[in-house]
Amino acid sequence: MKASTTTGLIALSMENPALEFEDFDRVMKQHRTRVLRFLLASVGDMDVAESLTQDCFWNAYKSRKTFRGECSVNTWLMRIAVNLVRNHFRSRRIQFWRKVERVNPEQIHDWADRTISPEERAAVKEQVQAIWESAKTLSPKQRTVFILRFVEDLDFPEIAQSMGVTESTVHVHLCRALRQIRKSVGKRK
């Protein structure tokens, strides 16, 4: 009985994609970590990332009826998040007075990865810190592409949809971002 109800709901949401947002609490629960993760990596500030995450869901909630199902809900939310990041960096110049709670570099260092030895961890921590710092110096588009690819694990078409650019543009930005990040991580050769 339950299976048939679920099947019915899926069929309905295929016809009317806005039904994906019928249970918005579920949508938020499902996607919140991912949106927050992308925003945190983009702005490097948990306070701002949390605020932008709420803005992202608020914008999605307001415009849920316009969702046409041309992309996944995740890609749609990422597109909203990308625009929020863009607006954030545009308006940041007038936010110099705002109290910021930046992510402490130590926080990046302190995450617990039990799968590697302490010696390996020390070396990797240094590289992670280097990537974190280097990502901040990328242009906004390069940083967004880099994070969508390597933090969010989106493929090229999804990144292009999220950013409203072509796949070849994504490719160009990603290669430039990688070149800069590699410089900071250091090459072994």
Rounded to 10 deg, the angle between the 46-62 and 24-43 helix axes is 140
Q: Which two tokens stand for residue 19?
A: 């039904």
Regarding 100 and contact with another protein (CB under 8 A), the answer is: no
- Contact with another protein (CB under 8 A) among 9, 18, 37, 86: 37
Closest CA to 103 of 33, 40, 36: 40
Q: Count the residues of the shown chain that bind another protein, applying the rule CB under 8 A.
A: 46
- Cβ distance to another protein smaller for residue 4 or 117: 117
Round to the nearest angstrom and report the end-to-end CA distance of the chain. 62
- CA nearest to 140, candidates 176, 110, 96, 189: 176
Q: Does residue 86 touch another protein according to CB under 8 A?
A: no
Position 2 contacts another protein (CB under 8 A) = no
Asked if residue 32 binds another protein (CB under 8 A), the reply is yes
Binding mask 43-62 for another protein (x = CB under 8 A): ---x--xxx-xxx-xx--x-
Question: Does 159 engage in binding with another protein (CB under 8 A)?
Answer: no
Q: Between the CA of residue 74 and those of 20, 148, 152, 158, 189, what are the distances in Å?
A: 11, 12, 10, 9, 39
Among 171, 162, 44, CA closest to 103: 44
122 lies in the binding site for another protein (CB under 8 A) = no
Give the binding site for another protein (CB under 8 A): 24-25, 28, 32-33, 36-37, 40-41, 46, 49-51, 53-55, 57-58, 61, 103, 107-108, 111-113, 124-125, 127-128, 130-132, 149-151, 153, 171, 174-175, 178-179, 182, 185, 187-189
